[in-house]
Amino acid sequence: MQHKNNFNFLRLFLAVLVLLSHSYELIDGNRNREILTRIFNTISLGELAVDSFFLISGYLILQSWERSPKLQVFLKKRILRIYPGFIVASLVSAYVVGPLGAATDYFADFELFQFFKSLVLLQPPNIPPVFPGQPYPFVNDSMWTISYEFRCYLMVALIGICGLLSWRIWLALSALTLVMALSPDSASPLANLSWVLVGEPVSLIHFLCFFFAGGCFYLFRHRIHYRFTWVLVLIPILLLSLFNTSTAQLLLPTIGAYILFWAAFAPAPILQRVGSYPDISYGVYLYGWPVQKLLLWYCPSLSPWLLFMLSCGISFVCGLLSWHFVEKPFLQLKTAPAQKHQEPTPTLLMSAEKIKAGR
């Protein structure tokens, strides 16, 4: 099915940006060589891509709830979209990539219960350290934001079943999370709650800010007019805001979101055609980190651009395999009406570039 929007293209493009961002930092842990960080010293391409994924997710997940406002149906769709690909990628990371990147008796230190716990909680595989001598001794740290994605889904379900899903309440929550994101200390009371519920409070508020902003663009979709001339004016304003962390936090989920959704709905038949191809963006994200770590483990002299090109090719193949043999079969377990609609891909989240205030 071909969709008259560019969401599939944008998700794949953003997943590639995450690979490009990691291609600089994973080599030696020097974040300052990363493209956007070197220019603005506030944000990386990976962080920008992740924030954009949450914007898209907020739009599409709210659309999904509106079309099927039933808790059981909603959760079934979300679980089928998130867990199968995540579980298989975790198994591959732990039982294939881990041993290939281990310098010690890997399985002697492997704790099955801890690994299973990380699967259930949508955490990166909890396994012994790998890739000794390299920065970030983690087998698949890109997965750390997936749990925040699922928390956003649960937030929509909670608001929906309580009958509070109105534009006024959603707008108020959007404003609240934006204010809290601008003042990270305001998230400290959340630290008293269970980690399973909130994770790291600063990271949760940051991601909720973008997720709620994306939902606002869905709720006001009939009133928002996307114009190319406005985009031309807003882009330089947004770029200038990236020199300051606070202004970037304020403008990325607002005018940055406007630019993103203009790109999503711009009449571009070539980009829309991507919607008729397999949606490999989730798989590209899930396998990008372990692919890049293995490439650097066996070919440590790779340049950032060569690492990027090689990892793109391999990750695309992994994403294609994940789609055909894991994700698509499980998505077919959805109810027939749900299959007629475009389902959002989890926000492919970055890994090593943790939200600075929260990591």
Q: Considering the domain boundaries, does residue 262 fall inside one?
A: yes
Could you say which DSSP state residue 332 is in?
T
The DSSP output letter for 24 is: H
Is there a contact between 305 and 282 (Cβ–Cβ < 8 Å)? no
Q: Which domain holds residue 278?
A: 23-333
Classify residue 348: in a domain, yes or no: no
Predicted local confidence at residue 194, as pLDDT:
79
Is the Cβ–Cβ distance between 221 and 239 less than 8 Å? no
pLDDT for 334:
79
Determine the pLDDT at residue 99.
95
Q: How confident is the model at residue 339 (pLDDT cuts 50, 70, 90)?
A: very low
**Of 320 and 339, more confident:** 320
126-135, 170-179, 286-295, 349-358: the lowest-pLDDT one: 349-358
Q: pLDDT at residue 268 above 50?
A: yes
Would 344 be classed as within a structural domain?
no
Least confident of 2-11, 17-26, 44-53, 285-294: 2-11
Average pLDDT taken over every residue of the chain: 91
Within a domain: residue 15? no
For tokens 């099927």, the residue is 68
Q: Give the pLDDT mean for 24-40.
A: 93
Is 5 a member of any domain? Answer: no
Task: For residue 159, give every residue at least 6 positions away whose Cβ sits within 8 Å of its Cβ, in sequence order, or none.
Answer: 165, 169, 170, 173
355 assigned to some structural domain: no
Statement: residue 36 has pLDDT above 90? yes
- Alpha-carbon distance values, 347 to 166, 210, 292 (Å): 24, 11, 20
Q: How far apart are CA 267 and CA 208, in angstroms?
A: 29
Does a structural domain hold residue 1? no
Q: What is the CA radius of gyration of the chain?
A: 20
Closest CA to 330 of 83, 127, 155: 83
In sequence order, the 6+-apart residues with CB closer than 8 A to the CB of 136 are 26, 29, 293, 351, 352
pLDDT surpassing 60 at residue 338: no
Closest CA to 60 of 179, 149, 178: 149
Q: Provide the pLDDT confidence category of residue 346 given band limits of 50, 70 and 90.
A: low
Among left, alpha and beta (phi > 0; psi -120 to 50; other), residue 131 is: left
How many structural domains does the chain have? 1
How confident is the model at residue 187, as a pLDDT?
81
Distance CA 236, CA 305 (A): 27
Extract the tokens encoding 339: 């299959």
Residue 357 counted as domain residue: no
User: Would you say residue 167 has pLDDT above 90?
Assistant: yes
